[in-house]
């Protein structure tokens, strides 16, 4: 089946809320119906065909081309299908997403996968703050799913995260996994200060030692953990960009914490990961 | 502009009018006599087949003051899950258990409420409370000032000060805070909590001051009586929520010693400790006593199942209740040594024995207390349930079959512990109009509210007749506030500002000298800045100030 291609025209409308443009909502619509959808741009509501050139009809696969960071809420509450973004994505990419797949060939803004409940988000560039975090007012962040970031991530990745996996091949900002309830975060580059502060359970995997020792954590020895081999084997199969994970071994330094929040969480610093780590 | 509400079926208990078809005329925000035949009617509504009542009053609802804001901050999820978008003429907001101010006003007006009273304004929070209430559109507001735990009063009593001095202090505080009535919360108990007392029974002595809750109640009751404040002392007694507190409540009624007293959210004070679960309903005993004691009035504080938040000045109680918090987070704090503040989110569950029995106790009180003029309909918003549950509660009172249906879904042991199934009483529309309009207005001394007589403020609600009372009361056809239509078919069409109601009792100004010394020594605010003047209050954006008369003895 041919994809629906939406190519952004020259945008002089400011930020555009593209939350209605997800494959599951557009599937089965003809071209005119898609064209007639109105998108919120500031105070105005503007038709899709004013903003985008439309090729094809509503399909399970949607491509947004020439995208810029002005498009926000891409893939909002998306349940199924594939959404491909060529160019940058704005804030709230995949907010409250439930299923399906979003691929971005560029950077994305803040709140990537905020409070998401399932599905996959794959960003080839860098992303802003609070990926997989809890939206304002919510008590839990990401509840399931997988977020893959090939570049760097901003502050507070996985804040209040409940379950699911976040992989950052580059560096991450401070307050990584702040108040995390459970789940897995992998950062192959450097992570900023205060990693894991307030985390209750869950696992942070680090490719490199953090610059500052994490506060509230205590060294718990060097361990061989077979589950790491399985985890990396599975991750290595998801994407070519993740293929480097395949050879990673089971040895890691374990730090237990945050001891002020029960200490059931852990930071694992991988021992044989340096060769494959992104810079 | 002369408006005529034609052919409505009027229910106006203040004048003994029960379902009489009659026209009502409104001019300049007031209800007026039928004009001479030649006068032109500017606007006419045909209300044939509709029921017309005065605007409803909520005598006890926490809508302003520090604790409500603390509850809002504590519960971002309550706001996140219940957003209200702005629309033409109305502003956005959020929140179910503790809605934001605009939404509070809209939701009250949409149910036909035109006046709400904040029952627990700490003197230190006066500005916050009045500012917040001024932000609530459409409805009138007023506040009861919280006394009985402040060190100045307890010190006075401890030193054996004459009653006249205490009375002056009460009057001074009411004037300084622009209050409509006086409330006492856990008399002496909040203060005792700060001296590490974890309970204070009615006759238990305070660890530091030579007072007991009984003596505080007595002093404040007498002060309110001597000043001639229309609303009696608004009492949230000792031992709220403790099994066996029905005995305390009966003792509290005795402590009033014949003086008028209003027992608030009595449902929380009517628990026995009989039965194998050591928790039972004390409603029957209390109702019997109240039926005989003409000096006592009450509001129920009915609970409804679902998530809400309890916000109270009673730190002692909230400290005890913190372990039941759901979700697991609480705030327990002191506020300027005036009293305290406790905020505990709560989930009342129908399959939980205690919660189910609480639900029954409230309804038993409603059905066992005979005189509708002395009982008012409240859920102690948000402590028992958000005020948006009122139509549901009215249906429970008016429809026995529905009540039994709801009862059958409850925890089985709670059903067995309650006599609710055997109570056949069903409230009539006339009685509901007393409970929600005529009686609270009379109790608060609001001469021009709660009725449809000539000269009354034109707060009028028009309901379509429905079999299902919940539907009928949740979306009136029309609501008028001071003569202006504000709601039409359940939609807000105008948002005028309401009035502030207050009283202005007289007192001997000599009390200010004593207070000056106290303020200089202990307070964070200067005496002159503490007082909230009329000009400042009006500058908050209220439509006006309505001063109600006191009749000192």
Mean pLDDT of chain B: 94
Contacts of B81 in chain A (CB under 8 A): 137
Angle, helices B213-227 vs B151-158, to 10°: value is 100
Is a pLDDT exceeding 70 seen at residue A277? no
Q: Is A165 inside any structural domain? A: yes
Task: Return the residue of A nearest to B94 by Cα.
Answer: A137
Question: Collapsing DSSP states into helix, strand and coil, what is residue B492?
Answer: strand
Question: Which residue spans within chain A are E strands per DSSP?
Answer: 4-8, 16-17, 38-41, 44-47, 52-55, 61-67, 71-72, 82-87, 101-105, 120-123, 146-149, 165-168, 184-187, 203-206, 218-224, 251-257, 265-270
Name the residue among B374, B459, B501 with its Cα closest to residue B12.
B459
- Maximum pairwise Cα distance, chain B: 74
Most A-contacting residue of B80, B100, B307 (CB-CB within 10 A), to test interface? B80
Is a pLDDT exceeding 60 seen at residue A276? no
**Domain limits for position A225:** 110-276
Is a pLDDT exceeding 80 seen at residue A11? no
To the nearest whole angstrom, how far is the Cα of A40 from the nearest Cα of chain B? 14
Most A-contacting residue of B74, B75, B76, B82 (CB-CB within 10 A), to test interface? B76
Name the residue among A229, A191, A185, A236 with its Cα closest to residue A209.
A191
Question: Collapsing DSSP states into helix, strand and coil, what is residue B166?
Answer: helix
- Tell how far CA A95 is from the center of its chain: 10
**Which run of H or E residues covers position B450?**
none
Q: Does B92 touch chain A if contact means CB atoms closer than 8 Å? A: no
To the nearest whole angstrom, how far is the Cα of A172 from the nearest Cα of chain B? 28
Q: Between chains, do A138 and B327 touch, taking CB under 8 Å as contact?
A: no
For A18-44, what is each residue's pLDDT tens digit? 999 999 999 999 999 999 999 999 889
Tally of helices (H runs) and strands (E runs) in chain B: 21, 26
Q: Is A146 inside any structural domain? A: yes
Q: Between chains, do A138 and B77 touch, taking CB under 8 Å as contact?
A: yes
**Which run of H or E residues covers position B344?**
strand B339-348
Task: Return the residue of B nearest to A138 by Cα.
Answer: B77
Contact call for residues B398 and B319 (beta carbons, < 8 A) = no
Q: Between chains, do A138 and B79 touch, taking CB under 8 Å as contact?
A: no
Mean pLDDT of chain A: 92
To the nearest whole angstrom, how far is the Cα of A137 from the nearest Cα of chain B? 4
For B504-544, what is each residue's pLDDT tens digit? 999 999 999 999 999 999 998 999 999 999 999 999 999 99
To the nearest whole angstrom, how far is the Cα of B79 from the nearest Cα of chain A? 7
Distance CA B371, CA B366 (A): 10
Is a pLDDT exceeding 70 seen at residue A16? yes
Q: Is A210 inside any structural domain? A: yes
For B222-235, what is each residue's pLDDT tens digit? 999 999 999 999 99
Read off the pLDDT band of A1 (50, 70, 90): confident
To the nearest whole angstrom, how far is the Cα of A214 from the nearest Cα of chain B? 27
Is a pLDDT exceeding 50 seen at residue B149? yes
Contact call for residues B142 and B230 (beta carbons, < 8 A) = no
Name the residue among A91, A89, A149 with its Cα closest to residue A123.
A149
Q: Between chains, do B76 and A135 touch, taking CB under 8 Å as contact?
A: no
Cα B317 to Cα A42, B125, B344, distances in angstroms: 48, 20, 10
Q: What angle do CA B125, B129, B135 make, to 5 degrees?
A: 150
Q: Is A182 inside any structural domain? A: yes
Is a pLDDT exceeding 80 seen at residue A246? no
The DSSP line for B496-523 is: ---EEEEE-----TTHHHHHHHHHHHH-
Q: Between chains, do A136 and B76 touch, taking CB under 8 Å as contact?
A: yes
User: What are φ and ψ of residue B534, in 5° steps?
Assistant: -60, -45
Q: Is A19 inside any structural domain? A: no
Name the residue among A188, A186, A190, A185 with its Cα closest to residue A174.
A190
Mean pLDDT of B367-387: 96
Task: Return the residue of A nearest to B95 by Cα.
Answer: A137
Task: Return the residue of B nearest to A134 by Cα.
Answer: B77
To the nearest whole angstrom, how far is the Cα of A135 from the nearest Cα of chain B? 9
Is a pLDDT exceeding 90 seen at residue A239? no
To the nearest whole angstrom, how far is the Cα of B354 from the nearest Cα of chain A? 28
Q: Between chains, do A137 and B80 touch, taking CB under 8 Å as contact?
A: yes
Q: Quick one: pLDDT at residue A273?
A: 64
Q: Quick one: pLDDT at residue B205?
A: 95
**Window A:135-154, CB contacts with B under 8 Å:** 135-139
To the nearest whole angstrom, how far is the Cα of B310 from the nearest Cα of chain A? 19
Distance CA B386, CA B375 (A): 19
Beta bridge mates, A39: A46
Most B-contacting residue of A114, A134, A137 (CB-CB within 10 A), to test interface? A137
Contacts of A139 in chain B (CB under 8 A): 76-77, 327
Is a pLDDT exceeding 90 seen at residue A241? no
The DSSP line for B127-146 is: HHHHHHHHTS-SSEEEEEEE
Q: Is A214 inside any structural domain? A: yes
Q: Between chains, do B77 and A139 touch, taking CB under 8 Å as contact?
A: yes
Q: Quick one: pLDDT at residue B431?
A: 96
CB neighbours of residue B237 within 10 Å: 27
Contact call for residues A210 and A204 (beta carbons, < 8 A) = no
Angle, helices B390-398 vs B400-408, to 10°: value is 110
Supply the DSSP symbol for B118: E
More confident residue, B38 or B14: B14
For B294-318, what is each residue's pLDDT tens digit? 999 999 999 999 999 999 999 999 9
To the nearest whole angstrom, how far is the Cα of A170 from the nearest Cα of chain B? 33
Task: Return the residue of A nearest to B73 by Cα.
Answer: A137
Is a pLDDT exceeding 80 seen at residue A275? no
Domains of chain B: 53-492 (3.20.20)
**Window A:96-135, CB contacts with B under 8 Å:** 135
Contact call for residues B9 and B50 (beta carbons, < 8 A) = yes
Q: Does B80 touch chain A if contact means CB atoms closer than 8 Å? A: yes
User: What are φ and ψ of residue B113, in 5° steps?
Assistant: -90, 135
What is the predicted ipTM?
A: 0.71
Q: Between chains, do A138 and B80 touch, taking CB under 8 Å as contact?
A: yes
Task: Return the residue of B nearest to A137 by Cα.
Answer: B76
Contacts of B79 in chain A (CB under 8 A): 137
Contact call for residues B123 and B97 (beta carbons, < 8 A) = no
User: What are φ and ψ of residue B461, in 5° steps?
Assistant: -120, 135
Question: Collapsing DSSP states into helix, strand and coil, what is residue B231?
Answer: coil
Contact call for residues A155 and A192 (beta carbons, < 8 A) = yes
For A41-59, what is each residue's pLDDT tens digit? 988 999 999 999 999 998 9
Contact call for residues B414 and B362 (beta carbons, < 8 A) = no
Q: Does A262 touch chain B if contact means CB atoms closer than 8 Å? A: no
To the nearest whole angstrom, how far is the Cα of A8 from the nearest Cα of chain B? 29
Is a pLDDT exceeding 70 seen at residue A212? yes
Domain count, chain A: 1
For B315-354, what is each residue's pLDDT tens digit? 999 999 999 999 899 999 988 888 889 999 999 999 999 9
Contacts of A135 in chain B (CB under 8 A): 80
Q: Is A41 inside any structural domain? A: no
Q: Does B79 touch chain A if contact means CB atoms closer than 8 Å? A: yes
Contacts of B80 in chain A (CB under 8 A): 135-138
Q: Is A116 inside any structural domain? A: yes
Beta bridge mates, A222: A253
Supply the DSSP symbol for B44: E
For B62-76, what is each residue's pLDDT tens digit? 999 889 999 999 999
Q: Does A43 touch chain B if contact means CB atoms closer than 8 Å? A: no
Question: Collapsing DSSP states into helix, strand and coil, what is residue A48?
Answer: helix
Q: If you count residue pairs, one on A and one on B, with CB atoms under 8 Å apart, how many are there?
A: 14
Helix then strand then coil, in percent of chain B rounded to 5, is 40, 25, 40
Q: Between chains, do A135 and B80 touch, taking CB under 8 Å as contact?
A: yes
To the nearest whole angstrom, how far is the Cα of B351 from the nearest Cα of chain A? 26
Most B-contacting residue of A114, A139, A159 (CB-CB within 10 A), to test interface? A139
For B183-212, what is each residue's pLDDT tens digit? 999 999 999 999 999 999 999 999 999 999
Phi-psi region of B65 (alpha: psi -120 to 50; beta: other; left: phi over 0): left
Q: Does B258 touch chain A if contact means CB atoms closer than 8 Å? A: no
Contact call for residues B353 and B416 (beta carbons, < 8 A) = no
Q: Quick one: pLDDT at residue A279?
A: 36
Cis peptide before B327 (omega within 30 of 0): yes
Exposed/middle/buried for B349, CB within 10 Å: 0-12, 13-18, 19+? middle
């Amino acid at each position: 089946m041919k994809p629906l291609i939406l190519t952004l025209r020259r945008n002089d409308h400011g930020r555009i809320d593209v939350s209605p443009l997800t494959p599951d909502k557009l599937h089965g619509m003809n071209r005119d119906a898609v064209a007639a959808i109105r998108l919120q741009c500031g105070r105005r509501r503007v038709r899709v065909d004013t903003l985008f050139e439309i090729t094809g009809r509503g399909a399970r696969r949607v491509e947004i081309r020439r995208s810029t960071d002005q498009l926000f809420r891409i893939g909002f509450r998306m349940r199924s299908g594939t959404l491909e973004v060529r160019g940058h994505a704005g804030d709230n990419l995949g907010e409250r997403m439930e299923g399906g797949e979003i691929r971005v060939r560029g950077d994305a803004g803040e709140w990537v996968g905020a409070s998401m409940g399932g599905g996959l988000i794959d960003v080839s560039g860098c992303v802003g703050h609070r990926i997989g975090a809890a939206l304002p007012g919510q008590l839990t962040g990401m509840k399931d799913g997988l977020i893959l970031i090939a570049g760097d991530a901003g502050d507070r990745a996985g804040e209040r995260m409940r379950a699911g996996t976040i992989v950052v091949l580059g560096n991450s900002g401070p307050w990584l996994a702040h108040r995390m309830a459970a789940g897995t975060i992998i950062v192959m580059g450097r992570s900023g200060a205060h990693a894991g502060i307030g985390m209750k359970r869950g696992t942070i995997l680090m490719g490199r030692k953090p610059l500052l020792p994490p506060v509230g954590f205590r060294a718990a020895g060097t361990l061989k953990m077979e589950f790491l081999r399985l985890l990396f084997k599975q991750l290595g199969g998801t994407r070519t960009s993740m293929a480097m994970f395949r050879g990673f071994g089971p040895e890691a330094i374990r730090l237990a914490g945050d001891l002020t929040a029960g200490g059931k969480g852990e930071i694992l610093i991988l021992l044989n990961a340096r060769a494959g780590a992104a810079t | 502009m002369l408006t005529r509400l034609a052919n409505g079926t009027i229910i106006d208990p203040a004048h003994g009018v029960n379902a009489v078809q009659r026209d009502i005329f409104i001019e300049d925000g007031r209800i007026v006599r039928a004009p001479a035949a030649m006068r032109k009617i500017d606007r006419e509504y045909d209300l044939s087949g509709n029921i017309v009542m005065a605007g409803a009053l909520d005598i006890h609802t926490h809508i302003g003051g520090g604790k409500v804001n603390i509850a809002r901050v504590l519960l971002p999820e309550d706001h996140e899950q219940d957003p209200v978008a702005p629309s033409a003429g109305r502003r956005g907001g959020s929140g179910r258990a503790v809605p934001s101010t605009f939404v509070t006003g809209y939701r009250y007006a949409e149910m036909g409420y035109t006046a709400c009273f904040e029952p627990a304004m700490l003197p230190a929070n006066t500005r916050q409370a009045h500012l917040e209430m001024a932000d609530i559109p459409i409805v009138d507001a007023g506040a009861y000032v919280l006394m009985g735990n402040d060190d100045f009063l307890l010190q006075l009593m401890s030193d054996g000060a004459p009653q006249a001095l205490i009375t002056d202090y009460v009057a001074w505080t009411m004037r300084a805070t622009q209050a409509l009535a006086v409330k006492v919360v856990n008399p002496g108990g909040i203060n005792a909590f700060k001296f590490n007392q974890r309970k204070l029974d009615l006759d238990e002595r305070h660890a530091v001051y030579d007072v007991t809750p009984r003596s505080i109640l007595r002093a404040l009751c007498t002060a309110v009586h001597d000043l001639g404040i229309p609303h009696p002392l608004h009492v949230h007694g000792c031992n709220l929520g403790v099994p066996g507190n029905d005995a305390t409540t009966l003792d509290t009624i005795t402590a009033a010693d014949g003086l008028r007293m209003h027992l608030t959210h009595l449902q929380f004070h009517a628990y026995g400790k009989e039965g194998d679960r050591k928790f039972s309903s004390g409603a029957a005993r209390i109702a019997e006593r109240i039926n005989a004691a003409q000096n006592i009035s009450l509001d129920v504080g009915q609970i409804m199942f679902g998530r809400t938040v309890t916000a109270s000045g009673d730190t002692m109680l909230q400290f005890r209740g913190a372990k039941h918090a759901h979700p697991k987070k609480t705030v327990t704090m002191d506020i300027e040594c005036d009293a305290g503040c406790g905020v505990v989110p709560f989930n009342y569950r129908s399959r939980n024995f205690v919660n189910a029995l609480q639900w029954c106790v409230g309804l038993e009180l409603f059905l066992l207390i005979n005189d509708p003029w002395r009982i008012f309909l409240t859920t102690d918003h948000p402590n028992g349930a958000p005020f948006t549950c009122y139509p549901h509660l009215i249906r429970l009172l008016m429809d026995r079959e529905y009540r039994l249906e709801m009862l059958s879904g409850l925890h089985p042991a709670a059903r067995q512990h309650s006599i609710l199934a055997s109570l056949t009483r069903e409230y009539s529309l006339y009685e509901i109009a007393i409970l929600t309009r005529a009686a609270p207005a009379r109790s608060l001394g609001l001469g021009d509210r709660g009725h449809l007589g000539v000269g009354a403020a034109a707060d009028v609600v028009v309901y379509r007749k429905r079999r299902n009372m919940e539907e009928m009361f949740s979306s009136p056809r029309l609501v008028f506030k001071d003569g202006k239509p504000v709601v039409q078919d359940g939609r807000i069409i105008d948002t005028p500002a309401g009035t502030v109601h207050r009283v202005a009792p007289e007192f001997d100004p000599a009390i200010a000298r004593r207070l000056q010394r106290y303020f200089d020594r202990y307070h964070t605010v200067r005496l002159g800045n503490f007082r909230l003047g009329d000009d400042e209050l009006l500058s908050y954006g209220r439509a006006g100030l309505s001063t109600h008369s006191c009749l000192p003895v």
